[in-house]
Structure 1
Amino acid sequence: MFCSRTWLLGAAVFVWLCCSCMLNGADGQNITDPIEVTALRAIRNSLIDPNRNLSNWNRGDPYHHEHDFCEPWLRQLLTMNLSGTLSPELGRLSYMQILDVMWNQISGSIPKEVGNIRSLKLLLLNGNQLTGPLPDEIGYLPNLDRIQIDQNQISGPIPKSFANLNKTKHLLLDNNNLSGYLPPELANLPRLSTSDFRSDQLDNNHFDGATIPDSYGNMSKLLKLSLRNCSLQGPIPDLSRIPHLAYIDLSSNQLNGSIPPYKLSENMTTIDLSGNNLTGPIPANFSGLPQLQTLSLLNNSLNGSVPASIWQNKTFNGNASLIVDLQNNMLSNISGSVSLPANVTVRLQGNPICSNTNLVQFCVPQNENKTVSHTPGATNSSDNCLVQSCPSPYEYAPNSPCFCAAPLIVGYRLKSPGFRDFEPYWVPFERCLTTDLELNPFQLEIASVFWEEGYRLRMNLKIFPVYVDNTSSHLFNTTEVQRIRSMFTGWNIDDTEIFGPYELLDFPLRAPYIDVIPSKSGIGKGALAGIVVGTFAGAVILSAVVSLLMWRLHMNKYTAVSKRRRLSKIIIKIDGVKDFSYQEMALATNNFDASCQVGQGGYGKVYKGILADGTVVAIKRSLQGSLQGEKEFLTEIELLSRLHHRNLVSLLGYCDEEGEQMLVYEFMSNGTLRDHLSGAAKEPPGFAMRLRIALGSSKGIFYLHTEADPPIFHRDVKASNILLDSKFTAKVADFGLSRLAPVPDIQGMTPGHVSTIVKGTPMRGYVDPEYFLTHKLTDKSDVYSLGVVFLELLTGMHPISHGKNIVREVKVAYRFGMIFSVIDKKMGPYPSDCMERFVNLALQCCQDETDNRPSMSEVVRELESIWLMMPESDTKTSESLIANPGKVVTPPSSSSDLKNHAPYVLGDISGSDLISGVIPTITPR
C-alpha cells in the first residue's frame, strides 16, 4: 500500500512537471509551455507578415516570461504592417495581460476565445480592419482596464455583458459600425472614466433612434462622455450628478428639447452640443465654470439672449482661452456687457443678433485654429549657444549650458484628452510624464503638438540625458534606454484623469542608439529540444523527490526548520529571483563590516553592499536561527518577486546558504522617511516634498490593494518602511508581514477581511484600532496606518512619544483651534488650502470605524488633486530639492510667523465631531 501511494504521488508530480508553465531548456533558459508554443505558431500562421517582423517565432520560444506566474506580454506588435486574421488560438495564452496589435491591417472578426484570457488587462485592437460583432465573452474578463477597438469596422450592438467590466476605466469604441441602442447597464460600471462611442465619419456608429439613458447621469467616475455623430434622439439627460465630469461631446446627433439647467461640474473644460435640434434659451449653468475652454452650441434652434456671464469675470491662467461658438441659432441679443476679455472668442454669425451693427465684431466668419502653440515660462538656456555647433544627431539639451546630447525620440498621442486647449495643461503634462518615467522635467522636450481628427492630441517628444556638470554623458546608457523604452511599450505610464488614455505611436532607435535593443532570437536548440531535455530533467528531479519523500515518510526525522528550508528552495526556484552566494554577499559588504551597516530591526541587520558589477544594493541579513525571520524571508521572496511598481522597493535577489538567509534590494540612498522627519535631520523636507512622498507611498499601497493579483494587505505601513531613492521617490518596503487578500469562496462570495493575529507595531501607534480589537485585517487597516504616516509628515512627531498618541494630539489641537501648534515648524511655508485638504485627508484615514475611512483609490485621487492645486513655484522647489538636496525652504522663524499665513479652516468640522471621532467626507473644491 505504501509503495502504491508513493507511485501515485510520483505520477502526479510528473504530470505537474510536464504541464507546468515553465520548463528548463537545453541551454538553461526558461521556455514556453509547448501548448502555448503551438498556439503562438497558429497565431503567427494566421497573420501575414510582409516585413518578417515575426520571423523569430519560427525559431524556438516566441516570447519570454515575467514574474512568477508566466505572464507573457503579446505587445509591441503595433504598426508592423501585419494583415491576416486573429486566430482563436489566442484563447490558449491564459497568462497574457496585454494584447496589442494596434495600427495594422488585420481583418476578420474578434475571436470569442479572447474571453478565455482571464488575466487580460489591456485589449488594444484599434486601427485595423476588424469586422463582425463584439463578442459577448469580452464582457466577462474580470481584469480588463482598457478596451480600445476604435477605428475598425465592428458592427452590431454593444453587448449587455459589458456591464460586468468592473475594472474597466476606458471604453473606446468610436469609429466603427455599431448600431442598436446604448445599454443603460453601462451606467453601473464603477471605474469607467472615459466613454467614447463617437463617429468621426458620417457612416459609422449609428444608434438609429436610440436615446441617451437617464442612468448615464449616475456614472460617478466618468470624466469624459463622447457620443458624437451617433444618430441619437431624445433629450439630454441630467449629467449634474457626475461630480468630476470634464468633457461632454454630444454633437452631430438629433437631440431635441431644451438644454437642462442643472449645475455642472466645476471641472468642465468642454461642452459640445452643436448640430442637434435643441430649442429654448441658453441656460445660466454655463456660467461660473472656471476651467471651461470650449462651449459649442452652433447649428441648433436656440433663442432668446446670450448670457454674457459665461465669459464675464473669468480668470485665465497663462495663455488659456475660451471659445463660445453660437453660430446659426435664433439668438436675438446679449444679456450683459458686450466687452470681451482678451482671451475670449464669441461667434454669433447666422443669428438675428447680427443685424445689430454694434455687435459686428461677433459676427465675422472665423475658422477654428487647431494648431498648438506654447510660450515657455523661462528662456531656454540654449538660445545663446552657437548655431549648428552640435554634430548630428546631437542637439542642444533644454535647460543646459550649451550641452550637446543625443535624445530619444518618441511618437505619442493622447487618445481622448479631457480638453481642447492644451496650453493650460502643458506644464502639468510634462510633470506627470517625467514623474512616471522617473526623469527630471527638464529632460523632456515636447518638440511638436497638433490636434488630429476626433480631437486626438499628437505629440513628438524628445528625451535628453540629464546634464549635471562637464563630466555628464552625452548619451543614455544601454540600461536607461531599455528602461525608458519598456516604460512606454509596457504601458507602465499612468493614465491621469484629465489626459486620459495614451498611445505609443513610435519609438525609433536612431543613431547612436540603433544597437541598444538587440533583435530577439529564438532559443538556439529550439523549443522541442528544450522541452525534451526539460522533461528528462524533470524526471530526474522527480526520482530524487520521490526517493526523498519515501525516506522522509519512513524515517520522519526532519525538523520544522528543514521543512521550511525545502519549501523556500521550491518557491525561489519558481520565482526565478537571482541566487547570490554567501561569498558574493561577504565581498559586497567587506565581510559584513560594521561600517557598511545602515539599519537594524527585529529581523536582523541591513548592510550597504557593492556587487562585483558595481551595483549598489541593500542586503537584509536575518538573525541566524530565527523562525520568524525565516517565515518573513519566504513571504518577501514570494510577494516581491511578482510585484513591480515604481513605488515599491524592488527585490534583486537572495542568498540562502551556509545557514544564512539574506535578501538583496535596490539601494535607497536617502534612507527612510522617518530619518528625514526626525529632530536630528539637518535638512527637513518642505511641504511640497512631503506631499510628493505621501502621494508616492499611497500609489504603492493602492497598487497592492487593486493591481496585485491577488491583492495584498501590507500590514506594516510605517514611516520607517517608506524609503526614499536618490530622487526622493517614495517606495514602500518590508513585506515580511504582508498577507494575501481574501479570495472568493465556493459560492463566489469574497470575505471582507482576513482573520489573523495582530502584527506590525501595535505599541507604536500604527495599528488600526478595529483590527487590534477584532483581529479582522482589511484594506482599510493599511489606510489607517498610512493616515498615521500622513500625520507624521504634517507634524514631524512620532506616532507615540512620551505617552502621547499622534492621532489624539492632532484631533485635540484641531478641536481647540490650535492646529498650528502641532504643524511641523521645520516644514516652511505652505499653501493654506492645500494644507487644509491634506490634514482633512489624514484625519479621515485615521477614523476609528473602518467604513468611515476612504479607500486607497480615493486617497490617491485626493492627493493628486491637492498636488495640482499647488503653486507652480512650490512644485518647482520640490523638484529643485531632488536635483539639489542641499537646498531647503526657509522655515518661519517663530510661531508668530505661522499665524501670518492665510486662515486655516477645515470646512464644517465641529468640536463634537472630533470628540466622537467623526470626520466629514472629503469634498474636493
Structure 2
Amino acid sequence: MFQNSAEFRILMMSTSRAWTVAAFFFMWLFGSSLLVGAQNGITDPIEVRALQDIKRSLIDTNKNLSNWNRGDPCTSNWTGVLCFNTTQDDGYLHVRELQLLDMNLSGTLSPELGRLSRLKILDFMWNSLSGSIPKEIGNIASLELLLLNGNHLTGPLPEELGYLPNLDRIQIDENNISGPIPRSFANLNKTKHFHMNNNSISGQIPPELASLPYLVHFLLDNNNLSGYLPPELSRMPNLTILQLDNNNFDGTTIPDTYGTMSKLLKLSLRNCHLQGPIPDLSRIPHLGYLDLSSNQLNGTIPTNQLSQDITTFDLSNNELTGSIPANFSGLPNLQILSLANNSLNGSISSFLWQNKTLNATESLTLDLENNMLTNISGSINLPPNVTLWLKGNPVCENDDLSLNQLCGSRSQNDTRSPSTTNSTTACPPQSCPFPYEYSPTSNISCFCAAPLLVGYRLKSPGLSDFPPYRIRFEEYLTSGLQVDFHQLYIDSLVWEEGPRLKMYLKLYPIYNASGNERNMFSRSEVSRIRSMFTGWLIPDSDIFGPYELLNFTLLDIYREVPVTTSKSGISTGAVIGIVLGGIAVAVTLSAVVTLLILRVGLKNYRVVSKQRRTSKASMKIDGVKSFTYAELAMATNNFNSSTQVGQGGYGKVYRGNMADGMVVAIKRAQEGSLQGEKEFLTEIQLLSRLHHRNLVSLIGYCDEEGEQMLVYEFMSNGTLRDHLSAKSKEPLSFAMRLRVSLGSAKGILYLHTEADPPIFHRDIKASNILLDSKFTAKVADFGLSRLAPVPDVEGAMPTHVSTVVKGTPGYLDPEYFLTHKLTDKSDVYSLGVVFLELLTGMQPISHGKNIVREVNVAYHSGMIFSVVDGRMGSYPSECVEKFVTLALKCCQDETDPRPSMADVVRELENIWLMMPESEIGVPESIDTVPEKMTPPSSSSMVKNPYVSSDVSGSDLVSGVIPTITPR
C-alpha cells in the first residue's frame, strides 16, 4: 500500500493530526460545558460581544489583537485585556483595564466601549485612531483613567464625559479635538488631571471649572482658546500647574487673584496675547516656574521677593519698563532669567551672579538682550557656568573689551539636550549573549542582564536644566517604582518643544546572588512595573511634574515567558460534575470520530505528500546551494542566542560561520508559520535569478528536519534603520545618505526594468535596505514581492497587478491601499518615504505623526531645514533642497505624477554630481545608467502640488528643479 517508510510516517503524522483535532474538539466541548454549566469563571457575555465589536472598528495592521477570537477574554489572556481576579456580584469576570498603548492601531473607537461597565482604565495612547470620541464612554461610571492622547481623533468633547463620577485623569492631548470645553466637566469632582494640550479646542474656559476640588494639573496649551482668563480659577484649592501657552486671550489681563493660588508650582501663559501689568506673585510660596513671555505685558517687574524655589523666570518679548529688581539676586535654584526684548533701563547689578554658588552640574543663564540697559554695577567677571547675554543694549556701545563676549551673538548650541553613554567600557566586549547586556549602574562588575525598555516623558517639568536634578530624579522614580536605585539607567534624554523632556530608560533586574550572572525580571515583576507606569501609581513630584508613558518595550526573551491565566473561582463540585458530563459526551462521540480518522488521515496524507513533492521539485534550482540542517546548526552553535542578529515577522536571523570560513546570514522561519512557507518559496524563486550589486544575494537554503531556512551574504553594517536610529553611534553624513539612496534606487530599478519578468518589491522600507562593510546599499526581503504584469493575448500591457494589500504601515502607497492596484509607482512611493527618513532621521509613523505630512508642512511653510536630521553634520543646502523635492515627488498621493524609478536614479545622480568633492571624498564610482533607461518625452508632464507650475519630465531627469513657491 505504501511505497516506502517515509510515506507510512506521513500517514501516521496525518492520523495523529486527526486525533489531535478530535482531542481539541473534546476539549472545546468540555469548555462549552463549562460555560453552560456554571456562570463562574467566564467573562460577562455583554463585554465579550463589546470587545468583538471594538476589534471590528479597529485596523490592526500588526496583528496585535489576533488572539481576540480565541477562548474567553479574561481566562485566555487576550492582548491588552486585564480583568478582575475574581468573579463579581453577578458571577462573571469583568474587564478592569483595556491597555492598547502604542500598538499601531488605526480605525475608530467603537461606541460599544460603553458596555465595559466595570472598566477602570481605557488606554489607546500613541496609536493612529481617527473619528470622534464616543459619547457612550460617559456610561462607564467606574472609569478612572481615560487615556487617548497621541492619536488623530477629531470632533468635539462629548458632554457625557462630564458625568464620570470616578474619573481621575483625562488625557486627550496631541489629537485634533475641536469645539469648546463642555461645562459639564465642572461635575468631575474626583478629577485631578486635565491634559488637553495640542488640540484645536476653542472658546472660553468655563469659569464653572473653578469648583473642581481636586484638580492638580490644568494643561490646555497649544489650542484655540479665546475670551478672558477666568479669575475664578484661583479658587481651585489644589491646582499646582496652570499651563495655557499659545492660545488667544486677546486683550485680556492676568487676574490679580492668580497671585493667591497658594499651591501653584508652575504658571505658563506664553504667547497668549495678554496685556496689562504683571500681578504680584510673591504670595505663592513655592512657585518654581513662571513663563509669561511673548505677550504685550507692560509696566514694571514687581519688586516683591520671589519664591526661593524659582528655577525659571521668563518675561521676554513683552513691553516692560523700569529697572531689573534686586530681588533676583540670591535665588538658590534659579537656572534661567530671561528678560530679553523689553524696554528695561538703568544698570545691571553684578549681584545677579556674584551671590550665586554653582556646583559642576549647575548653570545660570541671564538673557537681557535688546533692552535699554546702560551699564554694569560691580564686577563683570562671571563665575563658571554663568552665561550673560547683553547684545542690543546701550552698555554694549562702550569701548570695554571685557564686554565683547557678552555682547556678541549667542551660540546656537542647545545646552539643554544632554545625552548619556554606557559606562561599561571596562567590561570585555560582546561577552553578554544576546539579548543580555551589561548593567551600566550595577554595583556588580560586568553584570549581564536583560533590561526593560521604557519611553518616558516629563510633560510639564518645573525646571529648565536637568543635570542638577538627575540624582533627585533617579531617586524619585526608583522609589516610586519600588526598585533599587542601581536598577535605573537613563539611556538618553532630549528637550522637546513645550518644553518637555523625553527620556529612554532602561530598568535592570537585581543581581542574582546565587551565582547566575545572566538575570532577568520575573513575569510578575514585569507586570508590576508596567502597571506602575500605566496606572499612574508613581506619586506626582513637585519639581518634575506629570509624566507620560511613550512605550514599554519587552525584549523577546520576556515575550517567551509563559503567561499565567486568571483563576475562575469554579467550585470543586461544579468541576467534578462538568468533567463527568464532558467524559460521557466524549465517549458517545468517540466512535463516530474514530470512523473518520483513517479517512481524514488518508486525505491529509495525499495533500501533504503532494505538497512535499511540489516543494522539493521547486528546490532544484541552479546556482543555489542546498544546506543540511546540521551544517547550519554547526555554523550558529546550534542557533545559540549569542549568534542572533535580528528578527522579523518571518522569524529570527542568525550570523553563521560556515566550515569554509564564509560568514553568512541565516533566516530561520518560525515553526508552523504559513506565511513563512509562502515567503520561503517566493524568495528562493525570485532571488535565484536576480543578480545585482544592490540586491542581497541568496547563497542557499535548507528544507529538512521540519525547518525552512534561507542563507544570504552577510551584511556587516546591518540595516539602514539601525543607522538612522537616535542610538546610532556614528550618524551617516549627507553624502553617505545620498549614496545609500542611489544604491537602493538602482537595485529597485533593476527589478522594474532588468529582471525578466519585472518584479514589484512591495515592501521597500529602511529595515529592508542592508549595508555591507563598505556601506553599499542592498535591497533585501522579497517575501512579499510580486511579478509585474505580462502582455495579454492581444499584446496589451496591463498597468497594474490586482492583489491583496501587503506591506508596512507608513510606507504603503495610498492609491494601492485604496484600490488594491499594485504598480511600479508603489515601490517609488515607499522609496520616497525612505528618502524622507534619510533626510530627517524620523520614522515613517511615530506617536501619531506621519513623516510625509510632517515634511510637507515644513516644505510649505519654507521651514524645510528645520526638519533635517542635525546629526548628519554640514551639508550643501542646494543638494538637500533637490533631494527633498525628489522625495516629495515620489510621495505624492496619486500614482501618475510620481516619477519612474529611472527618473529617480537620474535625478539622484545629478544631485551626486553637484556634491562638493570635499563632502564625498573618493567613494566608489557611480555606475552608468542602464541602457534600457530612456528619458520620458518632453511632452510628459509631472504635476507637482509643491510648486507653482507644472514640471516636465525632462526637467526632472536633467536635474533642473524650478523655484519652490509654497501655496
> Normalising by structure 1, what TM-score?
0.50
SS at match of 2:298: strand
Question: Is the counterpart of residue 211 in structure 1 residue 258 in structure 2?
Answer: no
Question: Is the counterpart of residue 193 in structure 1 residue 205 in structure 2?
Answer: no
Work out the CA distance in 1 between the residues paired with 2:487 and 2:123. 25
SS at match of 1:357: coil
Residue 28 of structure 1 corresponds to: 40
1:393 to 435, 438, 457: 435
Work out the CA distance in 2 between the residues paired with 1:248 and 1:313. 22
Task: Summarize the Cα distance change of 1:373–1:127 in structure 2 as closer, same or farther, 3 Å threshold.
Answer: closer
Question: Is the counterpart of residue 366 in structure 1 residue 390 in structure 2?
Answer: no
Residue 64 of structure 1 corresponds to: 83
2:221 to 174, 177, 192: 174
Question: Is the counterpart of residue 300 in structure 1 residue 319 in structure 2?
Answer: no
Work out the CA distance in 1 between the residues paired with 2:537 and 2:448. 29
Work out the CA distance in 2 between the residues paired with 1:473 and 1:95. 42
- Report deviation, 1:240: 0.3
SS at match of 1:301: coil
User: Which amino acid counterpart does residue 224 of structure 2 have in structure 1?
Assistant: N
SS at match of 1:367: coil
Residue 305 of structure 2 corresponds to: 263
Work out the CA distance in 2 between the residues paired with 1:96 and 1:309. 53
Work out the CA distance in 2 between the residues paired with 1:136 and 1:296. 37
Work out the CA distance in 1 between the residues paired with 2:175 and 2:560. 30
- Report deviation, 1:80: 2.1
Work out the CA distance in 2 between the residues paired with 1:516 and 1:102. 30
Tell whether the 8 Å contact from 2:145 to 2:168 is kept in structure 1 after alignment: yes
Tell whether the 8 Å contact from 2:371 to 2:393 is kept in structure 1 after alignment: yes
Work out the CA distance in 1 between the residues paired with 2:44 and 2:417. 49
Residue 614 of structure 1 corresponds to: none
1:106 to 140, 153, 178: 153
Task: Summarize the Cα distance change of 1:253–1:485 in structure 2 as closer, same or farther, 3 Å threshold.
Answer: same
- Report deviation, 1:273: 0.6
User: Which amino acid counterpart does residue 288 of structure 2 have in structure 1?
Assistant: A
1:489 to 534, 543, 547: 534
Task: Summarize the Cα distance change of 1:30–1:112 in structure 2 as closer, same or farther, 3 Å threshold.
Answer: farther
Residue 443 of structure 1 corresponds to: 487
User: Which amino acid counterpart does residue 324 of structure 1 have in structure 2?
Assistant: L
Tell whether the 8 Å contact from 1:372 to 1:449 is kept in structure 2 after alignment: no
**Root-mean-square deviation over aligned CA pairs:** 3.0
Task: Summarize the Cα distance change of 1:517–1:370 in structure 2 as closer, same or farther, 3 Å threshold.
Answer: farther
2:501 to 447, 450, 457: 457
Tell whether the 8 Å contact from 2:449 to 2:508 is kept in structure 1 after alignment: yes
- Report deviation, 1:212: 0.7
Work out the CA distance in 2 between the residues paired with 1:493 and 1:369. 34
- Report deviation, 1:436: 1.0
Work out the CA distance in 1 between the residues paired with 2:409 and 2:36. 71
Alignment of 1:501-900 (within 5 A): 501-516=546-561
- Report deviation, 1:391: 2.9
Residue 950 of structure 2 corresponds to: none
Task: Summarize the Cα distance change of 1:389–1:372 in structure 2 as closer, same or farther, 3 Å threshold.
Answer: farther
Residue 167 of structure 2 corresponds to: 120
Partner deviation per Cα, 1:855-886 (whole Å, 9 max, x = no partner): xxxxxxxxxxxxxxxxxxxxxxxxxxxxxxxx
- Report deviation, 1:478: 1.0
SS at match of 1:383: coil
Work out the CA distance in 2 between the residues paired with 1:346 and 1:306. 11
Residue 568 of structure 1 corresponds to: none
Work out the CA distance in 2 between the residues paired with 1:414 and 1:318. 24
User: Which amino acid counterpart does residue 64 of structure 1 have in structure 2?
Assistant: C
- Report deviation, 1:369: 4.0
- Report deviation, 1:416: 0.5
- Report deviation, 1:313: 2.1
- Report deviation, 1:75: 3.2
Partner deviation per Cα, 1:151-206 (whole Å, 9 max, x = no partner): 1111111111211111111111111111111111110111111111112xxxxx11
Structure 2 spans left out of the alignment, 5+ residues:
1-34, 74-80, 90-95, 97-117, 569-577, 579-967
Tell whether the 8 Å contact from 1:42 to 1:89 is kept in structure 2 after alignment: no
Work out the CA distance in 2 between the residues paired with 1:432 and 1:173. 26
Work out the CA distance in 2 between the residues paired with 1:137 and 1:164. 12
Task: Summarize the Cα distance change of 1:380–1:415 in structure 2 as closer, same or farther, 3 Å threshold.
Answer: closer
Work out the CA distance in 2 between the residues paired with 1:215 and 1:93. 37
Question: Is the counterpart of residue 352 in structure 1 residue 394 in structure 2?
Answer: yes
- Report deviation, 1:367: 3.4
Partner deviation per Cα, 1:119-166 (whole Å, 9 max, x = no partner): 010101111111111111112111101111111111111111211111
Task: Summarize the Cα distance change of 1:47–1:207 in structure 2 as closer, same or farther, 3 Å threshold.
Answer: farther
Residue 784 of structure 1 corresponds to: none
Work out the CA distance in 2 between the residues paired with 1:374 and 1:256. 36
2:181 to 118, 131, 134: 134
Tell whether the 8 Å contact from 2:149 to 2:175 is kept in structure 1 after alignment: yes
User: Which amino acid counterpart does residue 43 of structure 2 have in structure 1?
Assistant: I
Task: Summarize the Cα distance change of 1:94–1:256 in structure 2 as closer, same or farther, 3 Å threshold.
Answer: same
SS at match of 1:75: strand
Tell whether the 8 Å contact from 1:151 to 1:176 is kept in structure 2 after alignment: yes
- Report deviation, 1:262: 0.9
- Report deviation, 1:107: 1.2
Work out the CA distance in 2 between the residues paired with 1:460 and 1:98. 24
Question: Is the counterpart of residue 239 in structure 1 residue 281 in structure 2?
Answer: yes
User: Which amino acid counterpart does residue 521 of structure 2 have in structure 1?
Assistant: F
Work out the CA distance in 1 between the residues paired with 2:501 and 2:559. 28
Work out the CA distance in 1 between the residues paired with 2:332 and 2:491. 29
Task: Summarize the Cα distance change of 1:159–1:430 in structure 2 as closer, same or farther, 3 Å threshold.
Answer: same
Aligned structure 1 segments of 4 or more residues deviating by more than 4 angstroms: 23-27, 36-63, 66-71, 371-376, 516-523
Work out the CA distance in 1 between the residues paired with 2:37 and 2:370. 71
Tell whether the 8 Å contact from 1:39 to 1:93 is kept in structure 2 after alignment: no
User: Which amino acid counterpart does residue 430 of structure 2 have in structure 1?
Assistant: Q
Work out the CA distance in 2 between the residues paired with 1:86 and 1:144. 19
Residue 411 of structure 1 corresponds to: 455
Work out the CA distance in 2 between the residues paired with 1:121 and 1:313. 44
Partner deviation per Cα, 1:364-417 (whole Å, 9 max, x = no partner): 1113643557799xx987332112322332211123311111111000000111
> Normalising by structure 2, what TM-score?
0.48
Partner deviation per Cα, 1:564-611 (whole Å, 9 max, x = no partner): xxxxxxxxxxxxxxxxxxxxxxxxxxxxxxxxxxxxxxxxxxxxxxxx
User: Which amino acid counterpart does residue 244 of structure 2 have in structure 1?
Assistant: F
Task: Summarize the Cα distance change of 1:350–1:397 in structure 2 as closer, same or farther, 3 Å threshold.
Answer: same
User: Which amino acid counterpart does residue 167 of structure 1 have in structure 2?
Assistant: Y
Work out the CA distance in 2 between the residues paired with 1:160 and 1:25. 56
Work out the CA distance in 1 between the residues paired with 2:178 and 2:567. 33
- Report deviation, 1:522: 15
- Structure of higher CA gyration radius: 2
Aligned residues: 494
User: Which amino acid counterpart does residue 526 of structure 2 have in structure 1?
Assistant: V
Residue 383 of structure 2 corresponds to: 341
Residue 480 of structure 1 corresponds to: 525
- Report deviation, 1:237: 0.7
Tell whether the 8 Å contact from 1:403 to 1:467 is kept in structure 2 after alignment: yes
User: Which amino acid counterpart does residue 89 of structure 1 have in structure 2?
Assistant: E
Work out the CA distance in 2 between the residues paired with 1:219 and 1:386. 56
Residue 270 of structure 2 corresponds to: 228
Residue 107 of structure 2 corresponds to: none
Task: Summarize the Cα distance change of 1:512–1:48 in structure 2 as closer, same or farther, 3 Å threshold.
Answer: closer
Question: Is the counterpart of residue 89 in structure 1 residue 136 in structure 2?
Answer: yes
- Report deviation, 1:318: 3.4
Work out the CA distance in 2 between the residues paired with 1:156 and 1:207. 10
Tell whether the 8 Å contact from 2:41 to 2:567 is kept in structure 1 after alignment: no
Work out the CA distance in 2 between the residues paired with 1:380 and 1:521. 40
Task: Summarize the Cα distance change of 1:517–1:91 in structure 2 as closer, same or farther, 3 Å threshold.
Answer: farther
Tell whether the 8 Å contact from 2:85 to 2:566 is kept in structure 1 after alignment: no
